[in-house]
Structure 1
């Protein structure tokens, strides 16, 4: 004899409830890379807030403002961005020190917008060895386009050579 409709609906609802409960338990056990969780994404950065290139410190402040705005609007898929930016004083040894702190103590997921050819050169091998993404490197050196040797590094700016050609064309015009 067929099951009454009420029983079928109740059974279906019970099945959905069990699936939802099991699904949430599975989601709760989700494992993320270091620096990411259900509620937060840690992003590291170094910029010269002091030293000979301190004028570029405004870049770090602008990035912080964008991430604050993102957080104020709900974050990224409900996750807040924890943007941790340190002063490297435009000094490669200081850059290495600050990046080690970001990776080993602050446990960031990635580095974003790190500024300067010398500083980025000093941290590139370390970050690639640790498999920590070094994204949107803020320097126009051509060396940032080497995914075979440095798969965890990605440049962002046009090369200095391309930029020079653009300026030259503009000036000639």
Structure 2
């Protein structure tokens, strides 16, 4: 019996080690993203001349966790260099946010940004003005060109479709 348990432990130990390693790697990558409070991001945007990416999420949302685990780590350098990053927990009923001279609950602010479900992304200009939103999960490969279109301010001169057609390899 002891011999059987020892063999089982030998088989399971590497799996436990690897799962712990990958989990800590994801956590380490997630810690590289500096999520700022919403009002702080709004206030810093003008001085840094960076647009704002608002991640709208909820604790129970599996796709939100997938974005956090897979998408943001894949784009961390682009996100950090070109955007101010903030998050709004849509289900936090105690939080309020100051935006354009008014105070909003989390759900009301996300509705103002046209987000009806989670996950959702909202892009605001460096002046804090609404640019666009994305509802639902989006992969890193699909999000990357949108980040470039926004961060290069190409949205001021051309549609996303035109931007993509000019940047195809």
TM-score (ref. length: structure 1): 0.31
TM-score (ref. length: structure 2): 0.31
| Largest Rg, 1 or 2 | 1
**Which of structures 1 and 2 has the larger relative contact order (alpha carbons within 8 angstroms, sep 6+)?**
2
